[in-house]
């Protein structure tokens, strides 16, 4: 019985040490989220490559090596955000994340009839106002009502082989992320 008590006591002390260590390390890990890394790299509405472009360390880890990616932070308090690029690639996808990194909306090039990337992210109130009198530049855009204040738009481009690298790089370089 004494051995069982001793083992339980050792387990409790070990668990307490692990929990205290995690609590002390938490601030150092929480400062390194995707939002903070993007904020260090660029201001709002400035697209930034987040993949390992030209052998650099990626801003966001765990990216698929067959995809190039760019991200831009936005604040819908400033108005709707318009994300578009004139180019075309074999496949692209767009994901919208809230500030905490939760995916709130995603779609691919198969959503459009032309395959061109042209999306406007708005709040519910902005959507109502925009639909009342749709601006000419939004006529062919995908309108996305997002339940976020601040967020991140991530654009990914598929690179099936090396011959597509320049096209995918140009596609992401030309991404415009502007408030409207």
My answer on whether 52 and 90 are in the same domain is yes
The pLDDT tens digits for 48-103 are: 988 766 555 556 655 677 889 999 999 999 999 999 998 889 899 999 999 888 89
Bridge partners of residue 48, in order along the sequence = 71
pLDDT band at 18 (very low <50, low <70, confident <90, very high): confident
The pLDDT tens digits for 109-125 are: 998 888 899 999 999 99
Rounded CA Rg of the chain: 22
pLDDT of res. 54: 52
Examine residue 128 and state whether it is found in any structural domain, yes or no: yes
Q: 52-58: long-range contacts (C-beta < 8 A, 24 or more apart)?
A: 53/169
My answer on whether 3 and 55 are in the same domain is no
My answer on whether 24 and 47 are in the same domain is no
My answer on whether 1 and 78 are in the same domain is no
Can you tell me the distance from the alpha carbon of 117 to that of 170, in angstroms, rounded to the nearest whole number? 13
Q: What angle do CA 62, 73, 61 make, to 5 degrees?
A: 10
SS3 state of residue 126: helix
CATH number reported for the structural domain that contains residue 150 in this entry: 2.60.40
Instruction: Give the number of other CB atoms < 10 A from CB of residue 77.
Output: 9
Can you tell me the distance from the alpha carbon of 130 to that of 124, in angstroms, rounded to the nearest whole number? 10
The pLDDT tens digits for 157-169 are: 999 888 999 999 9
Token pair 């008590």 is at which residue?
5
My answer on whether 18 and 73 are in the same domain is no
pLDDT at 29 over 80: no
Examine residue 38 and state whether it is found in any structural domain, yes or no: no
Count up the domains in the chain and report the number: 2
My answer on whether 27 and 48 are in the same domain is no
The pLDDT tens digits for 40-53 are: 888 999 999 887 66
My answer on whether 26 and 71 are in the same domain is no
pLDDT of res. 122: 94
pTM of the model: 0.78
Domain containing residue 18 = 1-31
- β-pairing, 67-75 vs 150-158, is antiparallel
My answer on whether 11 and 48 are in the same domain is no
Q: Rounded mean pLDDT of 6-14? A: 88
Examine residue 37 and state whether it is found in any structural domain, yes or no: no
The pLDDT tens digits for 118-149 are: 999 999 999 999 999 999 989 889 999 999 99
């Amino acid at each position: 019985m004494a051995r069982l008590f001793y083992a339980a006591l050792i387990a409790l002390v070990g668990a307490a040490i692990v929990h205290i260590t995690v609590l002390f390390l938490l601030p150092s890990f929480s400062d390194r989220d995707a939002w903070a890394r993007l904020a260090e790299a660029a201001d709002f509405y400035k697209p930034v490559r987040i993949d390992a472009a030209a052998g650099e360390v990626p801003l966001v880890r765990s990216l698929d090596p067959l995809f190039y990616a760019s991200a831009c932070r936005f604040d819908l308090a400033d108005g709707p955000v318009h994300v578009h690029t004139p180019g075309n690639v074999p496949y692209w996808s767009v994901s919208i994340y809230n500030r905490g990194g939760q995916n709130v909306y995603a779609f691919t090039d198969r959503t459009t009839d032309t395959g061109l990337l042209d999306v406007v992210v708005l709040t519910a109130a902005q959507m109502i106002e925009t639909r009342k009198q749709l601006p000419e530049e939004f006529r062919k855009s995908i309108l996305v009502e997002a339940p976020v204040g601040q967020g991140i738009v991530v654009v990914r481009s598929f690179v099936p082989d090396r011959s597509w690298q320049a096209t995918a790089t140009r596609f992401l370089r030309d991404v415009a992320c502007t408030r409207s």
